[in-house]
Amino acid sequence: MATTSPIMTIMTRAAEKAARSLVRDFGEVEQLQVSQKGPGDFVSAADRRAEELIKEELQKGQPSYSFLMEESGKTEGSNPDFRWIVDPLDGTSNFLHGLPHWCISIALESKGEITHGLIYDPIKDEMFTAEKGNGAFFARRKRLRVSGRRDLMQSTVAAGAPRRAVETQEQFINEYAAVLKHCPGVRRFGAAALDMAYVAAGRYEAFWERDLKIWDIAAGYIIVKEAGGFICDPDSHKTSPLDTGNILVANEHLFNDMKKILKDASKAAA
């Protein structure tokens, strides 16, 4: 069983507080006020309420830390070395359609490095956490470890389809077709943070997506790493997916295979 640190206790309290609000809103989703941020990209009153609750709780625990939050953007704290990175509701489209697959994602960046991550699915009451050097855990008890499968034809692969630029949509279609030739099927569940958590838990062997934001992947990034997974920008080893928003995560046995498949698909489409 993991020993819960003070930072993780703060993160857990914030997630659980916001979760209660989100679950109530999910039960009355047809009453929510919804606005559109961009093509296929929505924000609801539920997102904003959850974000406010998370920020309030995190500030109680560490009042000097900065924030980067999906809905309200940046808030500079008095201590520039530490920054909370928050997505109060990852999987908003699922949420707004009454689909019970969405989550809260909270990460802590310490001196430019992601050191703590938490992903919480309130509907299933599943919490995934990690702290740098201390491993990744499920429900604060069970240690997470990526799958040991070595054959893509016996694996479950997940993907996220970009919704913004036509060119990235076309690239995804090419990549999807290429991956599909090497595995039984590709899942697309619509919540990147949970997809990454599922790789860490060994439920998926691999996941890739493009055009994400740092709040979509920061918590999952440390959770996957601490669970023994491999992570990269599929286009370049010289750039971090935290900077580009393009990400591939997989277990150690299938990471290079997935990377080659995606690379070859991109070349074929060029």
Spell out the residues 6+ positions from residue 49 whose beta carbon is closer than 8 angstroms to its own. 21, 25
CA–CA separation, 82 and 191 (whole Å)? 26
Name the average pLDDT for the chain. 90
Strands lying side by side in the sheet with 230-232: 186-187, 157-159, 206-209, 247-250, 230-232
Task: List the domain boundaries for the chain.
Answer: 6-143, 152-269
Question: Regarding predicted confidence, which is higher, 247 or 92?
Answer: 247
Per-residue model confidence (pLDDT) at position 236:
85
Q: For the structural domain made of 152-269, what CATH number should be given?
A: 3.40.190.80
pTM of the predicted model over 0.75:
yes
Q: For the structural domain made of 6-143, what CATH number should be given?
A: 3.30.540.10
Per-residue model confidence (pLDDT) at position 237:
79
Q: Per residue in 132-152, pLDDT tens?
A: 999 999 987 899 999 999 999
Q: Please, are residues 122 and 130 in contact by the beta-carbon 8 Å criterion?
A: no
CA–CA separation, 50 and 217 (whole Å)? 18
CA–CA separation, 270 and 255 (whole Å)? 23
Q: Quickly state the pLDDT bin for 162 (edges 50, 70, 90).
A: confident
Residue 42 has pLDDT above 80, yes or no: no
> 166-180 and 255-269 are packed helices; what angle lies between their axes, rounded to 10 degrees?
130
Per-residue model confidence (pLDDT) at position 38:
42
Tell me which of 124-133, 166-175, 257-266 is least confident: 166-175
Per-residue model confidence (pLDDT) at position 31:
63
Q: How many CA atoms lie within 13 A of 12 on its CB side?
A: 17
Residue 105 has pLDDT above 90, yes or no: yes
Per-residue model confidence (pLDDT) at position 39:
39
The pLDDT of 251-270, averaged and rounded, is: 89
CA angle 180, 216, 200 (to 5 degrees): 60
**Residue 69 pairs with which residues in a beta bridge?**
73, 86
